[in-house]
Amino acid sequence: MLSGVMAAQLVVALLALTSLCAAAPHLDCKELVKPLVLDNHSPIYGKWVLHVASWDEPGLKHDLVAVNSSWVELSSSSDSSLITIYWADRLGDKCLQGLANASVSGMTSHTTFTINGHTSYHDGKYYETCADCLLSEDTTLLPDGKSKGRYLFLFTKTGNLEQSELEIFKKQAECLNFLPEYFFGTTDLCPDDRNAAAADKETTEAEVQPPEN
């Protein structure tokens, strides 16, 4: 009888242990997802190429997969609470690019983009990530201020990423409740129109210079 009671207790103990293991979190999200404080914006300055992105609403996928490649350049402005954003997206054989300003406070940013006369509003958050990487969460806002959904973007300096770092991104996306679907950008980037415009200006100025006597 005693052995039967001990056996029953052992079974109960094993079931409890199995249940505990099953309930244990398999992701340490507190360590994986750490907000990046933007008090001195230098960690996010520079040119960044989109490598991978995810989304939390199925309807957002359509807008993203139309983009072949994307890059942004973030820089300081005369106003310490603003960041200047120059962006360029390749859609098939066309390039769209332009300039926007983001207001920054603590760990969040608010950006207004105007593309082909259409204005869109975005709230952003930045997170700690791999070296030479930029991890940003973008919430697209409807005209009434409500959220249309969120994207999670991972940019790198070169557009390339190690497989191990990609796996960390996927875990971060899971922690932030994004769908397990991913879009990968290419490195077939749009040229910087600002450089072309500067070159054209120099050529024009040279052409109108009076000849030397």
CATH number at residue 71: 2.40.128.20
User: How far apart, in Å, do the first and last CA atoms of the chain sit?
Assistant: 119
Q: Are 126 and 154 in contact (CB under 8 A)?
A: no
pLDDT of residue 114: 57
Residue 130 lies in a domain: yes
Tens of pLDDT, residue by residue, the chain (213 residues):
434 544 444 333 334 333 333 333 467 999 999 998 776 556 789 999 999 999 999 989 988 999 999 999 999 888 878 888 999 999 999 999 999 888 887 777 777 665 555 677 888 889 999 999 999 999 988 788 788 899 999 999 999 999 999 999 999 999 999 999 999 999 999 999 987 654 444 444 445 566 565
Number of domains the chain contains: 1
pLDDT of residue 109: 79
pLDDT of residue 147: 86
- Supply the range of the domain harboring residue 48: 31-180
Residue 213 lies in a domain: no
Residue 10 lies in a domain: no
Residue 77 lies in a domain: yes
pLDDT of residue 197: 54
Residue 40 lies in a domain: yes
pLDDT of residue 25: 47
Amino acid 159 reads: G
Residue 212 lies in a domain: no
Q: Are 81 and 103 in contact (CB under 8 A)?
A: yes
Residue 4 lies in a domain: no
